[in-house]
Structure 1
Amino acid sequence: MNKRLKPLPTFATEAQERAYWESHDSSEHLDWSQAQKVALPNLKPTTKTISLRLPQHLLDSIKVAANARDVPYQSLIKVWLQEKLHRH
């Protein structure tokens, strides 16, 4: 990329920086063609709470299976859902 890049400004506060980036394009300051992928292994994925209605006998069976594995039943449900998605 032969485009001359502008120097990155300095900001006194986070609010000033936020206002600047809301009205400016980062490609004026950075050569994104030189960007590299980065791995952030310690980040946890965001989760969302949902409500799921299950028949009582199904929930009881899941809890028994979770207890046999010594894991929380909600964690076991997440593992099973993830496994099912990977198969399809």
Structure 2
Amino acid sequence: MSRKRKNVPTFANEAEERAFWENHDSSDYVDWSKSQRVTLPNLKPTTQSISLRLPISLLESIKIAANSRDVPYQSLIKIWLNEKVHEVH
């Protein structure tokens, strides 16, 4: 038998909603047994800038490879890193 759920209040802003959920159990408000997995294909992944020192000759080779593929060299580095990570797993 399912239990009676509380109604989720209306919030004035995101900060108020965040404060509410920090102090309340969502299972009192949401029946998680009826939840479904969703995909959000248009979300951009969070990124972080890093500093990477490369030999000038290696960087120039990467730039030449990127130019021949008509992509920015930073994008090509990300593509290659991603391919290598997935190759290992």
Q: TM-score by structure 1 length?
A: 0.90
Give the letter for the 2:71 counterpart: V
Number of aligned residue pairs: give it: 88
- Cα distance in 2, alignment partners of residues 65 and 11 from structure 1: 52
Which portions of structure 1, spanning 4 or more consecutive aligned residues, are displaced by more than 4 angstroms? none
Alignment gaps of 5+ in structure 1: none
Considering Cα pairs closer than 8 Å and 6+ residues apart, tell me whether 1 or 2 has the greater RCO.
Answer: 1
Alignment gaps of 5+ in structure 2: none
The alpha-carbon deviation at position 65 of structure 1 amounts to 0.6
Give the letter for the 2:30 counterpart: L
SS in 1 for 2:52: coil
- Cα distance in 2, alignment partners of residues 12 and 53 from structure 1: 47
**Structure-1 residue corresponding to 2:70:** 70
- Cα distance in 1, alignment partners of residues 50 and 12 from structure 2: 41
Q: Aligned in 2, Cα 1:47/1:22: closer, same or farther, shift over 3 Å?
A: same
Q: Deviations over 1:33-73 (max 9, x none)?
A: 11001111111111110000101110010011111111100
- Cα distance in 2, alignment partners of residues 15 and 45 from structure 1: 23
Q: TM-score by structure 2 length?
A: 0.89
| Superposed CA RMSD | 1.4
SS in 2 for 1:39: coil
SS in 1 for 2:16: helix
Identical-pair percentage: 67
The alpha-carbon deviation at position 21 of structure 1 amounts to 1.4
